[in-house]
């Protein structure tokens, strides 16, 4: 059975008991553990490359060795976002206080 909890999809673990005794884990953990053929280490976590926490395809997942590694991934995204602001590809709307993509529209 699959259950959506917060933004993550959780799955029942029936294939084998977990060392920590949990019966439900996030789907992305299950996908990565099956791929690695082992349980995640206590410090390891998973980054969703496209930011969609419900997209648990292996190609959207990146195994992080620890929180610092994961934080560096997010920092690299912020750094690129600010470069896109500097180049006017991303702009800031002062009326609604939000960023938006300013992309040219192609007419056919």
Residue 1 has pLDDT above 90, yes or no: no
- In this predicted structure, what is the pLDDT of residue 89? 94
Report if residue 34 sits inside a domain. Answer: yes
Report if residue 88 sits inside a domain. Answer: no
Cα angle: 11, vertex 5, 55; to 5 degrees: 70
> Tokens at residue 19, please?
């060392």
Report if residue 41 sits inside a domain. Answer: yes
> Tokens at residue 12, please?
């029942």
Average pLDDT over residues 12-19: 64
Report if residue 29 sits inside a domain. Answer: yes
> Tokens at residue 24, please?
């439900």
Report if residue 40 sits inside a domain. Answer: yes
Query: At 42, is the secondary structure helix, strand, or coil?
Result: coil
- Could you tell me the residue range of the domain that residue 22 belongs to? 2-65
What's the domain count of the chain? 1
**Which DSSP letter does residue 58 get?**
G
Report if residue 54 sits inside a domain. Answer: yes
Percent of the chain with pLDDT over 70: 81
Report if residue 44 sits inside a domain. Answer: yes
Report if residue 27 sits inside a domain. Answer: yes
Per-residue pLDDT of 33-80, as tens digits, reads 999 999 999 999 999 999 999 999 999 999 999 999 999 999 999 999
Q: Band the pLDDT of 12: cuts 50, 70, 90.
A: confident
């Amino acid at each position: 059975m699959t259950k959506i909890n917060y933004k993550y999809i959780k799955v029942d673990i029936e294939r084998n008991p977990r060392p920590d005794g949990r019966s439900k884990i996030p789907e992305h953990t299950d996908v990565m553990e099956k791929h690695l053929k082992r349980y995640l280490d206590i410090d390891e976590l998973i980054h969703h490359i496209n930011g969609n926490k419900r997209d648990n395809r292996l190609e959207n997942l990146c195994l992080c060795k620890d929180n610092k590694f994961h934080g560096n991934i997010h920092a690299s995204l912020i750094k690129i976002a600010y470069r896109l602001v500097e180049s006017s590809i991303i702009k800031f709307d002062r009326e609604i206080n939000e960023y938006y993509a300013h992309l040219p529209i192609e007419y056919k």
